[in-house]
Chains A and B, each alone.
Chain A
Amino acid sequence: MRLAIASGKGGTGKTLIATSLARLWADQGRAVSYADADADEPNGHLLLNPTITREDRFSVKVPVLKEKKCAGHGKCQDICAFNAILSLKDSVLVFNELCHGCGACLLACPDNALIERDREIGTISQGMADEVKFYGGRLDVGEARVTPLIAGVVDAALDNASDEELIIIDSPPGTSCSTMAAIEQADLLLLVTEPTPFGMHDLKLAIELGRALNKRLAAVINRSDLGDNTTKELLEKESVPLLAEIPFDRAVAESYAASRLPVSTCADFRERLMLLSEELDIITRGASK
Protein backbone atom coordinates (compact mmCIF):
# COMPACT_ATOMS: atom_id res chain seq x y z
CA MET A 1 0.00 0.00 0.00
CA ARG A 2 1.12 3.52 -0.80
CA LEU A 3 -0.17 5.88 1.86
CA ALA A 4 0.30 9.63 1.37
CA ILE A 5 -0.17 11.83 4.42
CA ALA A 6 -1.20 15.38 3.59
CA SER A 7 -3.10 18.28 5.13
CA GLY A 8 -3.45 21.54 3.23
CA LYS A 9 -2.60 23.51 6.36
CA GLY A 10 0.89 23.24 7.82
CA GLY A 11 1.59 22.12 11.36
CA THR A 12 -1.43 19.87 11.81
CA GLY A 13 0.67 16.80 12.61
CA LYS A 14 1.51 15.16 9.27
CA THR A 15 5.05 14.23 10.24
CA LEU A 16 3.92 13.14 13.72
CA ILE A 17 1.40 10.69 12.25
CA ALA A 18 3.63 9.58 9.36
CA THR A 19 6.70 8.80 11.48
CA SER A 20 4.59 7.23 14.23
CA LEU A 21 2.85 4.87 11.81
CA ALA A 22 6.22 3.94 10.30
CA ARG A 23 7.63 3.07 13.73
CA LEU A 24 4.50 1.21 14.82
CA TRP A 25 4.33 -0.91 11.68
CA ALA A 26 8.03 -1.73 11.83
CA ASP A 27 7.57 -2.77 15.49
CA GLN A 28 4.81 -5.10 14.31
CA GLY A 29 7.27 -6.72 11.93
CA ARG A 30 5.79 -5.28 8.75
CA ALA A 31 7.95 -4.06 5.86
CA VAL A 32 7.79 -0.24 5.86
CA SER A 33 9.31 2.56 3.81
CA TYR A 34 9.04 6.18 4.87
CA ALA A 35 9.57 8.93 2.27
CA ASP A 36 9.91 12.51 3.46
CA ALA A 37 8.50 14.45 0.50
CA ASP A 38 8.44 17.83 2.28
CA ALA A 39 11.74 18.71 0.63
CA ASP A 40 11.44 22.43 1.52
CA GLU A 41 11.43 21.69 5.22
CA PRO A 42 12.09 17.98 5.84
CA ASN A 43 11.65 16.94 9.48
CA GLY A 44 11.04 13.18 9.41
CA HIS A 45 14.72 12.40 10.03
CA LEU A 46 14.59 14.32 13.32
CA LEU A 47 11.99 11.86 14.63
CA LEU A 48 13.09 8.60 13.00
CA ASN A 49 16.82 9.31 13.38
CA PRO A 50 17.92 7.13 10.44
CA THR A 51 21.45 5.98 9.67
CA ILE A 52 22.05 7.40 6.21
CA THR A 53 23.71 4.88 3.92
CA ARG A 54 23.52 6.75 0.66
CA GLU A 55 23.27 10.36 -0.50
CA ASP A 56 22.76 11.40 -4.11
CA ARG A 57 22.72 14.88 -5.50
CA PHE A 58 19.53 15.52 -7.45
CA SER A 59 19.62 17.42 -10.73
CA VAL A 60 17.24 18.95 -13.21
CA LYS A 61 17.96 19.63 -16.89
CA VAL A 62 18.72 23.13 -18.15
CA PRO A 63 19.62 24.19 -21.69
CA VAL A 64 23.09 25.27 -22.72
CA LEU A 65 24.67 26.08 -26.09
CA LYS A 66 26.62 23.24 -27.68
CA GLU A 67 29.21 25.68 -28.97
CA LYS A 68 29.93 29.11 -27.52
CA LYS A 69 27.99 30.87 -30.25
CA CYS A 70 24.70 30.45 -32.09
CA ALA A 71 22.99 32.11 -35.05
CA GLY A 72 20.65 34.10 -32.80
CA HIS A 73 17.39 33.13 -34.51
CA GLY A 74 15.52 33.72 -31.26
CA LYS A 75 13.24 30.68 -31.63
CA CYS A 76 14.20 29.44 -28.16
CA GLN A 77 13.12 32.69 -26.54
CA ASP A 78 9.88 32.74 -28.54
CA ILE A 79 8.87 29.22 -27.52
CA CYS A 80 9.84 29.37 -23.81
CA ALA A 81 6.65 29.71 -21.77
CA PHE A 82 8.59 30.57 -18.61
CA ASN A 83 10.76 33.48 -19.81
CA ALA A 84 13.78 31.38 -18.89
CA ILE A 85 15.91 31.91 -22.00
CA LEU A 86 16.94 35.14 -23.64
CA SER A 87 18.23 35.12 -27.20
CA LEU A 88 21.12 37.51 -27.77
CA LYS A 89 22.81 38.42 -31.06
CA ASP A 90 24.94 35.27 -31.20
CA SER A 91 24.33 33.46 -27.91
CA VAL A 92 21.71 32.83 -25.23
CA LEU A 93 21.26 33.72 -21.58
CA VAL A 94 19.50 31.06 -19.47
CA PHE A 95 17.77 31.96 -16.21
CA ASN A 96 18.16 28.63 -14.47
CA GLU A 97 15.72 29.30 -11.61
CA LEU A 98 12.91 30.00 -14.07
CA CYS A 99 13.60 26.98 -16.31
CA HIS A 100 11.08 24.11 -16.06
CA GLY A 101 13.32 21.69 -17.99
CA CYS A 102 10.63 21.06 -20.58
CA GLY A 103 13.02 20.85 -23.54
CA ALA A 104 10.90 23.04 -25.82
CA CYS A 105 13.85 25.34 -26.64
CA LEU A 106 15.95 22.39 -27.81
CA LEU A 107 13.15 21.31 -30.14
CA ALA A 108 12.56 24.85 -31.40
CA CYS A 109 16.18 25.67 -32.30
CA PRO A 110 16.49 25.28 -36.10
CA ASP A 111 20.24 24.56 -35.85
CA ASN A 112 20.03 22.10 -32.94
CA ALA A 113 22.50 24.39 -31.18
CA LEU A 114 21.18 23.68 -27.67
CA ILE A 115 21.91 20.66 -25.50
CA GLU A 116 21.07 20.03 -21.84
CA ARG A 117 23.23 19.89 -18.78
CA ASP A 118 22.45 18.79 -15.23
CA ARG A 119 21.91 21.42 -12.58
CA GLU A 120 21.89 20.28 -8.96
CA ILE A 121 19.00 21.54 -6.82
CA GLY A 122 19.03 19.23 -3.81
CA THR A 123 19.87 15.89 -2.24
CA ILE A 124 18.07 12.57 -1.88
CA SER A 125 19.23 10.48 1.06
CA GLN A 126 18.47 6.85 1.85
CA GLY A 127 19.02 4.90 5.03
CA MET A 128 17.54 2.76 7.77
CA ALA A 129 15.80 3.81 10.96
CA ASP A 130 15.80 0.50 12.79
CA GLU A 131 13.56 -1.55 10.49
CA VAL A 132 12.11 1.43 8.61
CA LYS A 133 13.55 2.13 5.16
CA PHE A 134 14.08 5.87 5.05
CA TYR A 135 14.09 8.24 2.04
CA GLY A 136 14.44 11.98 2.34
CA GLY A 137 14.59 14.93 -0.04
CA ARG A 138 16.28 18.21 0.81
CA LEU A 139 16.08 21.26 -1.44
CA ASP A 140 19.18 23.47 -1.54
CA VAL A 141 18.45 26.76 0.20
CA GLY A 142 17.85 29.43 -2.44
CA GLU A 143 16.34 27.04 -5.01
CA ALA A 144 12.77 27.82 -6.02
CA ARG A 145 11.29 24.76 -7.73
CA VAL A 146 10.91 21.85 -5.34
CA THR A 147 8.45 19.79 -7.42
CA PRO A 148 10.94 17.68 -9.46
CA LEU A 149 12.87 16.80 -6.28
CA ILE A 150 9.70 15.66 -4.52
CA ALA A 151 8.84 13.42 -7.49
CA GLY A 152 12.42 12.07 -7.29
CA VAL A 153 12.10 11.13 -3.60
CA VAL A 154 8.78 9.35 -4.13
CA ASP A 155 10.19 7.49 -7.14
CA ALA A 156 13.24 6.38 -5.13
CA ALA A 157 11.01 4.91 -2.42
CA LEU A 158 8.67 3.19 -4.88
CA ASP A 159 11.48 1.81 -7.04
CA ASN A 160 13.06 0.00 -4.09
CA ALA A 161 9.87 -1.34 -2.49
CA SER A 162 8.40 -4.81 -2.74
CA ASP A 163 4.72 -5.33 -3.58
CA GLU A 164 3.79 -6.13 0.02
CA GLU A 165 5.60 -3.14 1.48
CA LEU A 166 3.79 -0.30 3.24
CA ILE A 167 5.05 2.98 1.82
CA ILE A 168 4.36 6.16 3.76
CA ILE A 169 4.75 9.44 1.88
CA ASP A 170 5.00 12.46 4.19
CA SER A 171 3.74 15.27 1.93
CA PRO A 172 4.39 19.03 2.01
CA PRO A 173 1.59 21.37 3.10
CA GLY A 174 -0.50 23.19 0.50
CA THR A 175 -2.50 22.20 -2.56
CA SER A 176 -0.24 23.18 -5.46
CA CYS A 177 1.92 21.25 -7.91
CA SER A 178 4.46 20.26 -5.23
CA THR A 179 1.83 18.54 -3.07
CA MET A 180 0.46 16.90 -6.18
CA ALA A 181 3.89 15.45 -6.99
CA ALA A 182 3.98 13.88 -3.52
CA ILE A 183 0.55 12.28 -3.58
CA GLU A 184 -0.09 11.39 -7.20
CA GLN A 185 1.21 7.82 -6.96
CA ALA A 186 -0.55 7.02 -3.67
CA ASP A 187 -3.39 4.48 -3.25
CA LEU A 188 -4.79 6.27 -0.24
CA LEU A 189 -4.60 9.88 0.92
CA LEU A 190 -4.77 10.30 4.69
CA LEU A 191 -5.59 13.91 5.60
CA VAL A 192 -4.43 15.16 8.98
CA THR A 193 -6.52 18.08 10.17
CA GLU A 194 -7.48 20.02 13.29
CA PRO A 195 -10.88 21.16 14.56
CA THR A 196 -10.40 24.89 13.91
CA PRO A 197 -11.76 27.15 11.16
CA PHE A 198 -8.22 27.11 9.69
CA GLY A 199 -8.06 23.34 9.69
CA MET A 200 -11.49 23.09 8.13
CA HIS A 201 -10.85 25.70 5.45
CA ASP A 202 -7.63 24.00 4.34
CA LEU A 203 -9.11 20.49 4.65
CA LYS A 204 -11.77 21.48 2.14
CA LEU A 205 -9.04 22.37 -0.37
CA ALA A 206 -7.11 19.16 0.36
CA ILE A 207 -10.26 17.10 -0.26
CA GLU A 208 -10.72 18.93 -3.58
CA LEU A 209 -7.13 18.12 -4.55
CA GLY A 210 -7.61 14.46 -3.63
CA ARG A 211 -10.81 14.30 -5.64
CA ALA A 212 -9.20 16.00 -8.67
CA LEU A 213 -6.57 13.24 -8.63
CA ASN A 214 -9.17 10.47 -8.05
CA LYS A 215 -7.66 9.47 -4.73
CA ARG A 216 -9.31 7.40 -2.06
CA LEU A 217 -9.54 9.65 1.03
CA ALA A 218 -9.55 9.22 4.80
CA ALA A 219 -8.92 11.63 7.68
CA VAL A 220 -7.50 12.01 11.17
CA ILE A 221 -8.42 14.90 13.48
CA ASN A 222 -5.46 15.87 15.63
CA ARG A 223 -5.84 17.90 18.88
CA SER A 224 -9.49 16.89 18.54
CA ASP A 225 -10.56 18.44 21.83
CA LEU A 226 -9.15 21.92 21.11
CA GLY A 227 -11.80 23.40 18.87
CA ASP A 228 -15.26 22.88 17.50
CA ASN A 229 -17.28 20.37 15.52
CA THR A 230 -17.17 21.96 12.07
CA THR A 231 -14.26 19.89 10.74
CA LYS A 232 -16.06 16.69 11.65
CA GLU A 233 -19.23 17.95 10.01
CA LEU A 234 -17.32 18.71 6.81
CA LEU A 235 -15.90 15.16 6.74
CA GLU A 236 -19.40 13.74 7.16
CA LYS A 237 -20.79 15.98 4.44
CA GLU A 238 -17.98 15.01 2.07
CA SER A 239 -18.26 11.31 3.03
CA VAL A 240 -14.60 11.12 3.98
CA PRO A 241 -14.17 8.42 6.65
CA LEU A 242 -12.77 9.72 9.95
CA LEU A 243 -10.36 7.03 11.11
CA ALA A 244 -9.14 8.54 14.38
CA GLU A 245 -9.48 11.49 16.72
CA ILE A 246 -6.42 12.27 18.76
CA PRO A 247 -7.01 14.57 21.74
CA PHE A 248 -4.38 17.11 22.73
CA ASP A 249 -1.78 15.78 25.16
CA ARG A 250 0.98 18.06 26.33
CA ALA A 251 3.23 15.03 26.86
CA VAL A 252 2.93 14.21 23.13
CA ALA A 253 3.79 17.79 22.15
CA GLU A 254 6.79 17.84 24.51
CA SER A 255 8.03 14.47 23.32
CA TYR A 256 7.73 15.52 19.65
CA ALA A 257 9.48 18.82 20.41
CA ALA A 258 12.44 16.94 21.87
CA SER A 259 12.71 14.56 18.85
CA ARG A 260 11.38 11.58 20.78
CA LEU A 261 8.69 9.69 18.89
CA PRO A 262 5.58 9.87 21.11
CA VAL A 263 4.51 6.46 19.83
CA SER A 264 7.40 5.12 21.91
CA THR A 265 6.96 7.40 24.93
CA CYS A 266 3.21 7.97 25.39
CA ALA A 267 1.06 4.88 26.00
CA ASP A 268 -2.26 6.54 25.26
CA PHE A 269 -0.99 7.96 21.96
CA ARG A 270 0.38 4.56 20.95
CA GLU A 271 -3.00 3.02 21.70
CA ARG A 272 -4.73 5.52 19.42
CA LEU A 273 -2.20 4.96 16.65
CA MET A 274 -2.80 1.23 16.87
CA LEU A 275 -6.51 1.83 16.40
CA LEU A 276 -5.74 4.09 13.42
CA SER A 277 -3.53 1.37 11.97
CA GLU A 278 -6.36 -1.19 12.30
CA GLU A 279 -8.78 1.19 10.59
CA LEU A 280 -6.30 1.71 7.76
CA ASP A 281 -5.97 -2.06 7.36
CA ILE A 282 -9.73 -2.43 7.16
CA ILE A 283 -10.24 0.20 4.48
CA THR A 284 -7.26 -0.86 2.39
CA ARG A 285 -8.42 -4.48 2.46
CA GLY A 286 -11.81 -3.19 1.30
CA ALA A 287 -10.07 -1.31 -1.50
CA SER A 288 -8.16 -4.31 -2.80
CA LYS A 289 -11.28 -6.49 -3.11
Chain B
Amino acid sequence: MKEIVVLSGKGGTGKTSLTASFALLAEQKVSLGDCDVEAANLALLITGNDTSEESFVAGQTAFVNSEACTACGACVEVCRYAAIILPADANAAIVDDIPCEGCRACSVVCPTDAISFSDVRVGTIFQRKTAVGPMIHAELGIAQDNSGKLVARVRKDTRSRAEARGIELAILDGPPGIGCPVHAAITGVSLVVAVTEASSSGLHDLERLLELCGHFNAKAVIIINKYDLCVEVTEKIERLAEELNIRIVGKIPFDENIPRALARREAPIVIPLIRETIQQTWNDIKQELGIAWTPIF
Protein backbone atom coordinates (compact mmCIF):
# COMPACT_ATOMS: atom_id res chain seq x y z
CA MET B 1 0.00 0.00 0.00
CA LYS B 2 1.16 3.54 -0.78
CA GLU B 3 0.66 6.46 1.58
CA ILE B 4 0.85 10.16 0.72
CA VAL B 5 0.66 13.07 3.15
CA VAL B 6 -0.29 16.62 2.19
CA LEU B 7 1.77 19.14 4.21
CA SER B 8 2.56 22.83 3.99
CA GLY B 9 4.41 24.26 6.98
CA LYS B 10 2.30 27.42 6.81
CA GLY B 11 -1.40 27.04 7.53
CA GLY B 12 -4.11 27.96 5.09
CA THR B 13 -2.23 27.22 1.88
CA GLY B 14 -4.83 24.73 0.64
CA LYS B 15 -3.92 21.31 2.13
CA THR B 16 -7.47 20.24 2.87
CA SER B 17 -8.96 21.54 -0.41
CA LEU B 18 -6.34 19.61 -2.37
CA THR B 19 -6.61 16.44 -0.29
CA ALA B 20 -10.36 16.43 -0.92
CA SER B 21 -9.84 17.16 -4.62
CA PHE B 22 -7.44 14.22 -5.04
CA ALA B 23 -9.82 11.89 -3.23
CA LEU B 24 -12.68 12.98 -5.50
CA LEU B 25 -10.57 12.63 -8.66
CA ALA B 26 -9.15 9.22 -7.69
CA GLU B 27 -10.12 6.47 -10.13
CA GLN B 28 -10.32 3.91 -7.34
CA LYS B 29 -11.34 3.97 -3.71
CA VAL B 30 -8.81 5.57 -1.37
CA SER B 31 -8.45 5.49 2.41
CA LEU B 32 -8.53 8.99 3.87
CA GLY B 33 -7.04 10.20 7.16
CA ASP B 34 -7.32 13.71 8.60
CA CYS B 35 -4.10 14.16 10.56
CA ASP B 36 -4.78 17.83 11.38
CA VAL B 37 -6.36 16.85 14.68
CA GLU B 38 -6.32 20.40 16.09
CA ALA B 39 -8.36 21.83 13.22
CA ALA B 40 -9.84 18.83 11.41
CA ASN B 41 -11.69 20.08 8.35
CA LEU B 42 -11.55 17.30 5.77
CA ALA B 43 -14.89 15.91 6.94
CA LEU B 44 -16.48 19.24 5.99
CA LEU B 45 -15.60 18.63 2.32
CA ILE B 46 -15.92 14.84 2.13
CA THR B 47 -19.40 14.09 3.31
CA GLY B 48 -20.58 10.76 4.64
CA ASN B 49 -21.77 9.06 7.79
CA ASP B 50 -19.67 8.59 10.88
CA THR B 51 -20.13 4.93 11.69
CA SER B 52 -18.19 4.84 14.93
CA GLU B 53 -16.79 7.13 17.57
CA GLU B 54 -14.10 6.20 20.07
CA SER B 55 -12.34 8.04 22.89
CA PHE B 56 -8.59 8.28 22.60
CA VAL B 57 -6.73 8.05 25.88
CA ALA B 58 -3.09 9.09 26.29
CA GLY B 59 -1.13 10.45 29.21
CA GLN B 60 -2.29 11.01 32.76
CA THR B 61 -3.20 13.76 35.16
CA ALA B 62 -2.53 14.04 38.91
CA PHE B 63 -5.14 13.87 41.64
CA VAL B 64 -4.56 14.81 45.30
CA ASN B 65 -6.37 12.84 47.98
CA SER B 66 -7.24 15.71 50.34
CA GLU B 67 -7.57 13.42 53.35
CA ALA B 68 -4.06 12.02 53.00
CA CYS B 69 -2.48 15.38 52.05
CA THR B 70 -0.69 17.17 54.90
CA ALA B 71 -0.26 20.40 52.92
CA CYS B 72 3.55 20.18 53.28
CA GLY B 73 4.05 21.77 49.85
CA ALA B 74 6.79 19.38 48.66
CA CYS B 75 4.84 18.72 45.43
CA VAL B 76 4.48 22.44 44.69
CA GLU B 77 8.27 22.80 44.96
CA VAL B 78 9.06 20.14 42.34
CA CYS B 79 6.29 20.78 39.81
CA ARG B 80 7.83 22.50 36.79
CA TYR B 81 4.49 23.26 35.17
CA ALA B 82 2.96 25.27 38.04
CA ALA B 83 0.18 22.69 37.90
CA ILE B 84 -0.12 22.07 41.61
CA ILE B 85 -0.95 24.83 44.03
CA LEU B 86 -1.33 25.21 47.77
CA PRO B 87 -3.45 28.25 48.63
CA ALA B 88 -2.46 29.92 51.93
CA ASP B 89 -5.51 28.83 53.87
CA ALA B 90 -5.94 25.39 52.25
CA ASN B 91 -5.33 22.11 54.01
CA ALA B 92 -4.60 20.20 50.81
CA ALA B 93 -2.83 20.86 47.50
CA ILE B 94 -4.95 21.35 44.36
CA VAL B 95 -4.10 20.18 40.82
CA ASP B 96 -4.80 22.32 37.76
CA ASP B 97 -5.59 19.77 35.02
CA ILE B 98 -4.71 22.04 32.11
CA PRO B 99 -0.96 22.53 32.75
CA CYS B 100 -0.51 19.11 34.48
CA GLU B 101 1.56 16.80 32.25
CA GLY B 102 1.12 13.74 34.45
CA CYS B 103 4.91 13.50 34.90
CA ARG B 104 4.64 12.04 38.42
CA ALA B 105 7.43 14.19 39.91
CA CYS B 106 4.99 15.30 42.62
CA SER B 107 4.23 11.71 43.62
CA VAL B 108 7.94 10.93 44.08
CA VAL B 109 8.32 13.57 46.80
CA CYS B 110 4.91 13.23 48.48
CA PRO B 111 5.59 11.91 52.02
CA THR B 112 2.08 10.49 52.46
CA ASP B 113 1.44 8.98 49.02
CA ALA B 114 -1.52 11.31 48.62
CA ILE B 115 -1.16 11.71 44.83
CA SER B 116 -2.59 9.29 42.31
CA PHE B 117 -2.97 9.46 38.54
CA SER B 118 -5.79 8.86 36.13
CA ASP B 119 -5.85 8.47 32.35
CA VAL B 120 -6.73 11.49 30.23
CA ARG B 121 -9.11 11.37 27.31
CA VAL B 122 -7.16 13.56 24.88
CA GLY B 123 -9.50 13.29 21.92
CA THR B 124 -12.06 11.43 19.88
CA ILE B 125 -11.58 9.30 16.77
CA PHE B 126 -14.33 8.91 14.17
CA GLN B 127 -14.68 6.37 11.37
CA ARG B 128 -16.59 7.64 8.37
CA LYS B 129 -18.04 5.94 5.34
CA THR B 130 -17.83 8.10 2.22
CA ALA B 131 -18.40 7.71 -1.52
CA VAL B 132 -14.63 7.86 -2.17
CA GLY B 133 -13.68 5.27 0.46
CA PRO B 134 -13.23 4.95 4.23
CA MET B 135 -12.08 7.90 6.26
CA ILE B 136 -10.66 8.44 9.74
CA HIS B 137 -10.90 11.83 11.39
CA ALA B 138 -10.26 12.95 14.94
CA GLU B 139 -10.55 15.85 17.29
CA LEU B 140 -7.95 16.70 19.93
CA GLY B 141 -9.36 17.95 23.22
CA ILE B 142 -8.84 21.60 24.11
CA ALA B 143 -5.34 22.50 25.39
CA GLN B 144 -4.23 18.86 25.21
CA ASP B 145 -0.74 17.55 24.82
CA ASN B 146 -0.17 14.32 22.86
CA SER B 147 -1.40 15.49 19.45
CA GLY B 148 1.45 13.43 17.93
CA LYS B 149 0.09 10.24 19.50
CA LEU B 150 -3.40 10.97 18.17
CA VAL B 151 -1.98 11.62 14.68
CA ALA B 152 -0.09 8.31 14.83
CA ARG B 153 -3.31 6.54 15.76
CA VAL B 154 -5.25 8.20 12.89
CA ARG B 155 -2.57 6.99 10.48
CA LYS B 156 -2.60 3.48 11.87
CA ASP B 157 -6.40 3.23 11.55
CA THR B 158 -6.33 4.74 8.05
CA ARG B 159 -3.80 2.11 6.96
CA SER B 160 -5.58 -0.80 8.56
CA ARG B 161 -8.90 0.12 6.99
CA ALA B 162 -7.18 0.37 3.60
CA GLU B 163 -5.57 -3.04 4.06
CA ALA B 164 -8.84 -4.63 5.19
CA ARG B 165 -10.55 -3.43 2.01
CA GLY B 166 -7.70 -4.05 -0.43
CA ILE B 167 -7.29 -0.31 -1.05
CA GLU B 168 -3.97 0.62 -2.67
CA LEU B 169 -3.61 4.21 -1.56
CA ALA B 170 -4.01 6.18 1.68
CA ILE B 171 -4.19 9.99 1.47
CA LEU B 172 -3.45 11.95 4.64
CA ASP B 173 -4.39 15.57 5.22
CA GLY B 174 -1.51 16.84 7.36
CA PRO B 175 -1.16 19.35 10.19
CA PRO B 176 0.56 22.74 9.78
CA GLY B 177 4.00 23.42 11.27
CA ILE B 178 7.10 21.25 11.43
CA GLY B 179 6.87 19.94 15.01
CA CYS B 180 5.61 16.85 16.79
CA PRO B 181 2.28 16.22 14.98
CA VAL B 182 4.02 16.66 11.61
CA HIS B 183 6.72 14.16 12.61
CA ALA B 184 3.97 11.66 13.40
CA ALA B 185 2.39 12.30 9.99
CA ILE B 186 5.57 12.15 7.87
CA THR B 187 7.47 9.11 9.18
CA GLY B 188 7.72 6.44 6.51
CA VAL B 189 5.25 7.86 3.95
CA SER B 190 5.69 7.11 0.23
CA LEU B 191 5.40 10.76 -0.80
CA VAL B 192 5.03 14.21 0.76
CA VAL B 193 2.90 16.63 -1.25
CA ALA B 194 4.14 20.04 -0.09
CA VAL B 195 1.54 22.73 -0.75
CA THR B 196 2.94 26.25 -0.69
CA GLU B 197 1.64 29.62 -1.79
CA ALA B 198 3.32 32.43 -3.69
CA SER B 199 4.05 34.60 -0.67
CA SER B 200 7.26 35.26 1.23
CA SER B 201 5.73 33.42 4.21
CA GLY B 202 4.77 30.45 2.04
CA LEU B 203 8.31 30.20 0.65
CA HIS B 204 9.95 30.59 4.07
CA ASP B 205 7.80 27.84 5.56
CA LEU B 206 8.28 25.57 2.53
CA GLU B 207 12.06 25.78 2.97
CA ARG B 208 11.73 24.59 6.56
CA LEU B 209 9.29 21.83 5.57
CA LEU B 210 11.61 20.54 2.81
CA GLU B 211 14.49 20.54 5.30
CA LEU B 212 12.32 18.41 7.58
CA CYS B 213 11.56 16.05 4.66
CA GLY B 214 15.33 15.66 4.22
CA HIS B 215 15.66 14.94 7.93
CA PHE B 216 13.08 12.15 7.63
CA ASN B 217 14.38 11.01 4.25
CA ALA B 218 10.91 11.55 2.75
CA LYS B 219 10.49 12.12 -0.98
CA ALA B 220 8.56 15.32 -1.76
CA VAL B 221 6.79 17.08 -4.62
CA ILE B 222 5.60 20.70 -4.59
CA ILE B 223 2.32 22.42 -5.49
CA ILE B 224 2.37 26.23 -5.75
CA ASN B 225 -1.05 27.57 -4.85
CA LYS B 226 -2.11 31.16 -5.71
CA TYR B 227 1.01 31.21 -7.92
CA ASP B 228 0.01 34.47 -9.63
CA LEU B 229 -0.20 36.50 -6.40
CA CYS B 230 3.51 37.24 -6.53
CA VAL B 231 5.47 36.20 -9.61
CA GLU B 232 8.83 36.94 -7.95
CA VAL B 233 8.15 34.47 -5.13
CA THR B 234 6.89 31.83 -7.58
CA GLU B 235 10.18 32.13 -9.47
CA LYS B 236 12.11 31.74 -6.22
CA ILE B 237 10.12 28.59 -5.39
CA GLU B 238 10.88 27.24 -8.85
CA ARG B 239 14.60 27.90 -8.39
CA LEU B 240 14.53 26.25 -4.95
CA ALA B 241 12.79 23.20 -6.42
CA GLU B 242 15.39 22.95 -9.17
CA GLU B 243 18.28 23.23 -6.71
CA LEU B 244 16.83 20.51 -4.50
CA ASN B 245 15.77 18.43 -7.48
CA ILE B 246 12.14 18.37 -6.37
CA ARG B 247 9.38 18.19 -8.94
CA ILE B 248 6.69 20.87 -9.08
CA VAL B 249 3.49 18.98 -9.84
CA GLY B 250 1.09 21.89 -10.00
CA LYS B 251 0.63 25.64 -10.17
CA ILE B 252 -2.84 26.79 -9.20
CA PRO B 253 -3.93 30.38 -9.87
CA PHE B 254 -5.62 32.58 -7.31
CA ASP B 255 -9.35 32.46 -7.95
CA GLU B 256 -11.99 34.03 -5.73
CA ASN B 257 -14.34 31.23 -6.78
CA ILE B 258 -12.28 28.78 -4.70
CA PRO B 259 -13.10 30.30 -1.28
CA ARG B 260 -16.66 30.78 -2.47
CA ALA B 261 -16.86 27.06 -3.35
CA LEU B 262 -15.33 26.12 0.01
CA ALA B 263 -17.96 28.21 1.77
CA ARG B 264 -20.53 25.96 0.05
CA ARG B 265 -18.51 22.94 1.26
CA GLU B 266 -17.42 22.13 -2.28
CA ALA B 267 -13.89 21.19 -3.31
CA PRO B 268 -12.14 23.50 -5.84
CA ILE B 269 -12.62 20.93 -8.63
CA VAL B 270 -16.19 22.18 -9.09
CA ILE B 271 -14.59 25.10 -10.95
CA PRO B 272 -13.89 23.76 -14.50
CA LEU B 273 -10.54 25.50 -15.15
CA ILE B 274 -9.24 24.67 -11.68
CA ARG B 275 -10.38 21.07 -12.13
CA GLU B 276 -8.22 20.74 -15.25
CA THR B 277 -5.15 21.99 -13.38
CA ILE B 278 -5.70 19.74 -10.38
CA GLN B 279 -6.39 16.73 -12.65
CA GLN B 280 -2.97 17.26 -14.24
CA THR B 281 -1.41 17.51 -10.77
CA TRP B 282 -3.16 14.33 -9.68
CA ASN B 283 -1.86 12.51 -12.77
CA ASP B 284 1.68 13.62 -11.95
CA ILE B 285 1.33 12.43 -8.34
CA LYS B 286 0.13 9.01 -9.51
CA GLN B 287 3.10 8.85 -11.83
CA GLU B 288 5.48 9.66 -8.95
CA LEU B 289 3.86 6.89 -6.91
CA GLY B 290 3.97 4.41 -9.78
CA ILE B 291 0.21 3.93 -9.69
CA ALA B 292 -1.48 3.15 -13.00
CA TRP B 293 -5.19 3.36 -12.34
CA THR B 294 -7.82 3.12 -15.01
CA PRO B 295 -11.13 4.80 -14.30
CA ILE B 296 -13.78 2.58 -12.73
CA PHE B 297 -16.52 5.13 -12.18
Interface residues of A (CB under 8 A from B): 8-12, 15, 40-41, 43, 46, 79, 81-82, 100-104, 107-108, 139, 141-146, 172-180, 194-198, 201-202, 205, 208-209, 212-213, 223, 226-228, 248, 250, 253-254, 256-259
B residues near A142, Cβ cutoff 8 Å: 211-212, 215
Q: Kindly report which residue of chain B lies nearest to residue A174, judged by CB atoms.
A: B38
Selected contact of B208 from candidates A41, A223, A250, CB within 8 Å: A41
A-B CB contact pairs (8 Å), 19 listed: A8-B38, A41-B204, A41-B205, A43-B10, A103-B103, A144-B183, A146-B177, A172-B177, A173-B39, A173-B177, A197-B262, A198-B39, A201-B40, A205-B38, A223-B259, A227-B259, A227-B260, A254-B230, A256-B201
Interface residues of B (CB under 8 A from A): 9-13, 16, 38-41, 44, 59-60, 78, 80-81, 98, 101-105, 108-109, 139-140, 142-145, 147-148, 175-180, 183, 197-202, 204-205, 208, 211-212, 215, 226, 229-230, 232-233, 254, 256, 259-260, 262-265
A residues near B139, Cβ cutoff 8 Å: 205
A141 and B212 contacting across the interface, CB-CB below 8 Å: yes
Selected contact of B144 from candidates A108, A177, A258, CB within 8 Å: A177
A177 and B143 contacting across the interface, CB-CB below 8 Å: yes
Selected contact of B176 from candidates A41, A227, A259, CB within 8 Å: A41
CA of A196 to CA of B202, assembled, Å? 21
A259 and B200 contacting across the interface, CB-CB below 8 Å: yes
CA of A175 to CA of B232, assembled, Å? 34
CA of A205 to CA of B204, assembled, Å? 28
A residues near B180, Cβ cutoff 8 Å: 144-146
Q: Kindly report which residue of chain B lies nearest to residue A106, judged by CB atoms.
A: B105
A40-B178, A144-B180, A254-B230 are contacts. A101–B80 as well, Cβ < 8 Å?
Answer: yes
B residues near A198, Cβ cutoff 8 Å: 16, 39, 41, 44, 262
A residues near B80, Cβ cutoff 8 Å: 101-103
B residues near A208, Cβ cutoff 8 Å: 142
CA of A100 to CA of B145, assembled, Å? 11
A102-B105, A139-B179 are contacts. A107–B78 as well, Cβ < 8 Å?
Answer: yes
* Those 4 A-B pairs whose CB atoms lie nearest each other, nearest first: A11-B12, A10-B11, A102-B103, A40-B177
Selected contact of B104 from candidates A46, A79, A143, A253, CB within 8 Å: A79
Selected contact of A104 from candidates B105, B144, B183, CB within 8 Å: B105
